[in-house]
Structure 1
């Protein structure tokens, strides 16, 4: 049975930082920073991808209630398209850490690089499966972004966004080619750019008829 991470790894005033949404073709990249309370353990913390949706939702509520400080941040589609996804992710992580109402003494970042921060930071590869605070951040970021994509499914029907959350599944790619990009699609991503150019060419052909 999955027991989650060892809460003895929680360090005082150390924040964990993670992101969700680097790979999707649409929507913002969402990040979170969390400072856990060593005196209030949260059982079952784990990489958000290894948890069921129902379990993530329950842990989201527990994290936001028990953590010493937490903040969810983002970089919008326009920022992703202008900066590129890596730099937009670093910007969103920076915003998450700066949004904490308690200044951490150290930040532990999931991945192999750190954003530009005013505090010491270290990168932890696969940190969401190793560090409780990073796992907590991954849960907050994923639940927040998933809720947003479910809402977008109602605004932009036909793409299946609520199911695939913007990732380039066959269903999404087919809908993108058939319906064209929406305002929340990332035009700097190759499949979206190709669909936009195809739609533009089609409109130009109709204009000349």
Structure 2
């Protein structure tokens, strides 16, 4: 049986952890890296402790020594992929083709919408959170906690924090919608049109702030 914390994230499964031991932590990172690679290559469908153990080259008991169960392992693997995606997007945003927030968002988009298999897993995770919010809602909440501060950091420094948060929420909702649409319909023309509308909205928002 799976256990969950009050915020919906996976809870402890009752197994001893390897935390605190440098050797154990190194082993945990090695196992997580292998499971993350498998998740990126093969997606969320049929993800299980048995599959994770096979990918890690270990037994399920070894995984349960290092992790709090299959949901904890899934959460940590997805976090690894999200951190990589966010890092790549922010690196691209640091070198925009023009001035302003809109240009930074435009520079980020290719890093978010590429054909890297790992990226599709992250969008699958959002779909899973929508399909079964009671069990997997934390996948969506964790994404927001990670992305919103990054998007707020791209906003003009002289904006109030509330305004930064509101605009970041708009960007996140729009980009998330585009990504889900891309994975489900492959309507590149429609998504491109929607993205350009988002860029124009951001340009107007910035212009209003300087008027």
Between Structure 1 and Structure 2, the one with more helix by share is 2
TM-score bracket, normalised by the shorter chain, equals 0.3 to 0.5
Between Structure 1 and Structure 2, the one with more strand by share is 1
Q: TM-score scaled by structure 2? A: 0.32
Q: TM-score scaled by structure 1? A: 0.32
Higher relative contact order (CA 8 A, sep 6+): 1
